[in-house]
Amino acid sequence: MTNKIIYKFTLLIMVALFLENCGAVKPKVPASSLTKEEAKKISAVNNDSKKSNETKYVLKIETPVETDGVTYVQTVKAKSGETTTNQKNSFVQKNSINEKVNTRANKNDISVNSSLGSSYSNFIRVKTVYELAMDANPPLFLPHDEFETADEYKKRVSDQVSLMKEIVQMTSQKMEIKKAQRIQVAKDKELRTKSILEDLMSESSSSVEFTPTDIGRYNPEKETFPIILHSTQYQINVPREEARTFKANFKSVKIKGIKQLKPKYDVSVTVSKAHIRSRPNGSIVGIASRGDFFEHVQDEDEWFKINYKGQFGFTHMNNAELKLVDIDDAYEYHDMVAIHPTTGSMFAMTSVDKLVKAPLNLASRKLFEAGQADGPRE
């Protein structure tokens, strides 16, 4: 009986030792004994763990920047927000956004790191007047020396102020000169463009001859005939003594004139503030400032009809001027005359759209004649 107990106890001990050896941790192997492939696998695992801990970017913008004939590529990366245990479903944006600017010029790569909270931009640092004056005369801005009297130091401080005033004045003059140069360059460009467009319009001019489509009833008081030409109504001034024969031989009447490419104009506001109205003398729908441009549609009395924010608007002629900006594909006709078939007399023709209409408003007519702008009072 005792032998059986000893046998069972020994067997249990052997089983326990066997299980312990099977579940033991593998011994650590020195780095020197690892093969190259095993070392690469361990390094890759470590790199992956590091990348997982790095900040992920949710925004990356690459923008080409051209400076002095050289093209750079600016890359901006924004960090993703951090999450906390108390805010599982929301992101908190960090206060600072890191910008990484990668500049590639020719074969050189330059990296610049900056933050939006810096006091100046990535590319330009503007010096203060004090710094400019210090660069111009460094000894003048040295601290008070122990061998310098109080009066001498006071005079040196006064010279500092004078030097800074001179720099401010010189800078202002340079800015005015550059502004005048920019204005002159813009004017020269505008004149060159206008000259080119006028030459193209002149080259497109040619003589034309038409036969009118229909004629209306004669107005003996105004001595005019209404006629139709190419779906457009014109008015012809014909004296009474020739009006009867003119209408009797209407089918033989010839109309001559000049056709040329139609110009495109912009309406440029020339006053500080100008009213934009819904119609001539209508309600005010907006206010334009000096230098604003609008597409010109047509003239109506003393008003310019323009395209204003996707709709038609009107501004007074005293507020703006027309500027030639382009040429239309369509043609316009001018210097049109009707030739009497028997007498050979030539009578001037005027499009009904171009006829001078009666003033829409007496106040508007007075405003036009006085040369006053239609705008808010300053």
CATH number at residue 270: 2.30.30.40
Task: Evaluate whether 242 touches 267 at the Cβ level (below 8 Å).
Answer: no
Residue 181 shares a structural domain with residue 230:
no
| Dihedral sign computed on CA atoms, order 358, 360, 361, 367 | negative
Structure token digits, residue 246:
């003119």
234 inside domain: yes
Q: What distance in Å separates the CA atoms of residue 225 and residue 249, rounded to the nearest whole number?
A: 14
Residue 193 shares a structural domain with residue 275:
no
Residue 251 shares a structural domain with residue 302:
yes
Q: What distance in Å separates the CA atoms of residue 180 and residue 349, rounded to the nearest whole number?
A: 46
Q: What distance in Å separates the CA atoms of residue 303 and residue 280, rounded to the nearest whole number?
A: 7
Task: Evaluate whether 131 touches 160 at the Cβ level (below 8 Å).
Answer: no
pLDDT at 55: 45
153 inside domain: yes
Q: What distance in Å separates the CA atoms of residue 268 and residue 304, rounded to the nearest whole number?
A: 11
pLDDT at 196: 92
Map tokens 């003398």 to a residue. 281
Q: What distance in Å separates the CA atoms of residue 215 and residue 227, rounded to the nearest whole number?
A: 4
pTM: 0.49
Domain that holds residue 191: 128-204
26 inside domain: no
Please name which of 184, 181, 186, 179 lies closest in space to residue 323, comparing C-alpha atoms. Answer: 186
Last residue of a domain, one of 204, 226, 257: 204
Residue 196 shares a structural domain with residue 211:
no
Residue 224 shares a structural domain with residue 324:
yes
Residue 211 shares a structural domain with residue 359:
yes
Beta-carbon contacts of 357 under 8 Å, excluding residues fewer than 6 positions away, are: 300, 301
Backbone angles phi, psi at 360, to 5 degrees: -70, -25
Last residue of a domain, one of 153, 171, 204: 204
Q: How confident is the prediction along the chain (378 residues), in pLDDT tens digits per residue?
A: 566 677 777 777 776 776 666 554 444 445 454 455 555 555 555 555 454 444 444 444 454 544 445 454 444 444 444 444 444 343 333 334 344 334 443 444 434 444 444 554 556 667 888 888 899 999 999 999 889 999 999 999 999 999 999 999 998 999 999 999 999 998 899 899 989 998 988 899 999 998 888 899 999 999 999 988 877 888 999 999 999 999 999 889 999 999 999 899 999 999 999 999 999 888 999 999 999 999 999 888 889 999 999 999 999 999 999 999 999 888 888 888 999 999 999 999 888 765 544 444 555 656 666 677 777 766
Q: Give the three-state DSSP class for 87.
A: strand
Task: Evaluate whether 64 touches 75 at the Cβ level (below 8 Å).
Answer: no
Beta-carbon contacts of 107 under 8 Å, excluding residues fewer than 6 positions away, are: none
34 inside domain: no
Residue 180 shares a structural domain with residue 287:
no
Q: What distance in Å separates the CA atoms of residue 301 and residue 364, rounded to the nearest whole number?
A: 10
pLDDT at 90: 38
Task: Evaluate whether 338 touches 211 at the Cβ level (below 8 Å).
Answer: no
Structure token digits, residue 97:
């956004």
What residue type is 275 in one-letter code?
Answer: H
Distances (CA, A) of 190 to 55, 146, 271, 318, 327: 53, 63, 20, 22, 15
8 inside domain: no
Structure token digits, residue 192:
């060159």
pLDDT at 364: 61
363 inside domain: yes
- Which residues share a beta bridge with 101? 112
Please name which of 292, 293, 274, 299 lies closest in space to residue 373, comparing C-alpha atoms. Answer: 274
Residue 152 shares a structural domain with residue 266:
no
Number of structural domains in the chain: 3
Residue 234 shares a structural domain with residue 335:
yes
Last residue of a domain, one of 204, 234, 257: 204
Please name which of 333, 277, 324 lies closest in space to residue 305, comparing C-alpha atoms. Answer: 277
pLDDT at 163: 92
Q: What is the DSSP letter of 219?
A: B
Residue 219 shares a structural domain with residue 280:
yes
Q: What distance in Å separates the CA atoms of residue 296 and residue 304, rounded to the nearest whole number?
A: 7
Side-chain half-sphere CA neighbours of 99 within 13 A: 18
pLDDT at 335: 87
Structure token digits, residue 147:
């061998």
Residue 221 shares a structural domain with residue 159:
no
Residue 222 shares a structural domain with residue 357:
yes
Beta-carbon contacts of 234 under 8 Å, excluding residues fewer than 6 positions away, are: 226, 227, 228, 336, 349, 350, 351, 352
Q: What distance in Å separates the CA atoms of residue 195 and residue 190, rounded to the nearest whole number?
A: 9
51 inside domain: no
Map tokens 């702008």 to a residue. 373
44 inside domain: no
